Amino acid sequence: MTTVVNQSAPGGAARQAAGLPRLLPAAPEDLRAHLARYGPAPYRNQSGALIADVEASGLTGRGGAGFPVHRKLAAVARAGVRLAHRQQGRTVVVANGAESEPASRKDELLLQLAPNLVLDGLQLTAEAVGAAEAHLYLHYAPGPQILRALAERAARGLDRVAVTITQAPPRFLAGQETAVVNRLGGGPALPTFQPPRVSERGLGGAPTLVQNVETLAHLALIARYGPRWFRAVGTATEPGSMLTTIYRPDGKAHVREAAIGTPLRTLLGDGAEVQAWLVGGYHGTWLPMPDAAGITLDNASLGQFGAAAGAGVLAALPSGRCGLIEVARVTRYLAAESAGQCGPCLNGLPRIAAALAELAGPGHRRQTLTDLKRWSGPRNLVEGRGACNHPDGTVRFVRSALAVFEPEIQRHARGHCSASNHGATDRAPFLPLPPGMPTSEEDWN
């Protein structure tokens, strides 16, 4: 069960504009409540008109890669104009709600609480890039809130482009943008090599804009309140707020909207009960405590430790847990999730996962650690060699773990483990994996 830490009470746009949260109402808002709070989507009646505001706002994607949104909008709009000249059809927009990262809860919650904000964003981007087709891509069956929102909007004729819902398979790669386009085109949700980028040639060959659902919700607010409003929180170079899914030492998931630049210690806690932070989820980076305690939630600060905020998954691993066991379990999952289409995933990730499993057990061969460091090292067996970012993200997670949990590796080499010092319950998994996934090394057999 996910709790929401900072929901906004009903109170209209002025209150909303004043501070946080911007995106999360206290309870699911139907169309009536949404229109009372925000009014209708502010169409500009001109393709491309919103792009300058989005550029001035500094909005970046909230799906993980943090790419500037205006650049993708402009690329798809430009490609669309070229097609129109050749009378070859129109562009496509996709709201990506796959949330394929197992630890993330923010997109599902946003779609439950504020579906109309996401749908406004989808319609506004459709206008901005001249799209004739809009898709909503979800990893679970669409909930009642989203179905009701679509029906209510259709009844009032609010949407200019019809929205098609497609369900993603519950796989880690299903939310990657080329996998999204493949799935929407009726194929398997597997990534493919780029170029061409989907913004040039995506669904059915049409220039396709894929944006995370949270990105679209921010865009819907920027269209209403403007770039200066958006920049009222955040840092000068990384403006705005972001939804985070936070695991404090109690292991429960909380979704919280945080200003970019917020000290991580206020979100995660940094007391003696915390041994390390994980920032950016399972393609993210482990940060050592207390060395990283002064860091803030922005890529400029996180970058000092080679980390990035990603899709906002933040976890504080408590002292009584074994980081090595957690990392071995998640890496095994990531290796199993790879499509096995490319060399690094086929040959590299299973070996890395097996080596980590050996380190997480009692004692290991010295060669195993040497091999593991080599395989997961920069530009070695895995990095930069796949069709998608999955192998790179996985080795980033592993590399940081090898550095942060070095003392635990030594402890295991001597036949000890932090978790066993603290009673049997501490062996229960801390980092979540999808239901049905093995929870211990023995479960995999």
Q: Minimal distance in Å, beta carbon 379 to ligand SF4?
A: 15
Which position among 8, 91, 123, 176 is part of the footprint of ligand FMN (CB under 6 A)? Answer: 176
Q: Which is nearer to ligand SF4, 21 or 391 (CB)?
A: 391
Residue 413 has a CB neighbour count (10 Å cut-off) of 15
Among 311, 387, 402, 419, binds ligand SF4 (CB under 6 A): 387
Beta carbon of residue 88, minimum distance to ligand FMN (angstroms, whole number): 25
Give the shortest CB-188-to-ligand SF4 separation in angstroms. Answer: 11
Contact 323, 409 (CB under 8 A): no
**Which one of 144-152, 355-363, 384-392, 413-421 is the stretch in contact with ligand SF4 (CB under 6 A)?**
384-392
- 8 A C-beta contact, residue 183 and residue 198: no
Cβ partners under 8 Å of residue 343, min gap 6:
385, 386
Q: What is the distance between the alpha carbons of residues 194 and 191, in angstroms, rounded to a whole number? A: 9
Q: Is 169 in the site for ligand SF4 (CB under 6 A)?
A: no
C-beta closer to ligand FMN: residue 125 or 275: 125
**Residues pairing with 190 in the sheet:** none
Q: Which whole-number Å values give the CA distances from 253 to 200, 202, 429, 431, in the listed order?
A: 38, 35, 14, 10
What is the x/- site pattern for ligand SF4, positions 313-342, by CB under 6 A?
-------------------------xxxxx
Angle at the Cα of 331 from the Cα atoms of 325 and 337, rounded to 5 degrees: 140
| Nearest-approach distance from CB 44 to ligand SF4, in angstroms | 38
Write down the residue that tokens 């796959």 correspond to.
98
Residue 177 engages ligand FMN in binding (rule: CB under 6 A): yes
Query: What's the one-letter identity of residue 201?
Result: R
Q: How far apart are the first and last CA of the chain?
A: 29
Return the number of the residue (63 or 344) whose C-beta is nearest ligand SF4. Answer: 344
Which has the closest alpha carbon to 308: 86, 67, 77?
Answer: 67
Interacting positions 176-195 with ligand SF4 (CB under 6 A): 191
Q: How far apart are CA 427 and CA 198, in angstroms?
A: 43
Span interacting with ligand FMN, options 12-20, 96-104, 271-279, 436-444, rule CB under 6 A: 96-104
Q: Which of 64, 115, 239, 318 binds ligand FMN (CB under 6 A)?
A: 64
Q: Residues 210, 215, 217, 220: is their CA dihedral positive or negative?
A: negative
What is the chain's length? 445
Check residue 386 for interaction with ligand SF4 (CB under 6 A). Answer: yes
Instruction: Using the rule CB under 6 A, give the single segment among 23-31, 56-64, 344-352, 394-402 that binds ligand FMN.
Output: 56-64
**Contacts (CB under 6 A) with ligand SF4, residues 46-75:** none
Q: Is 175 in the site for ligand SF4 (CB under 6 A)?
A: no
* Residue 121 binds to ligand FMN (criterion: CB under 6 A): no
- In whole angstroms, the minimum distance from the beta carbon of 63 to ligand SF4 comes to 16
Question: Are 180 and 192 spatial neighbours (Cβ–Cβ below 8 Å)?
Answer: no
Ramachandran bin of 384, using left for φ above 0, alpha for ψ from -120 to 50, beta for the remaining angles? left
Interface with ligand FMN (CB under 6 A):
61-65, 67, 96, 98-100, 172-173, 175-177, 210-212, 215, 388-390
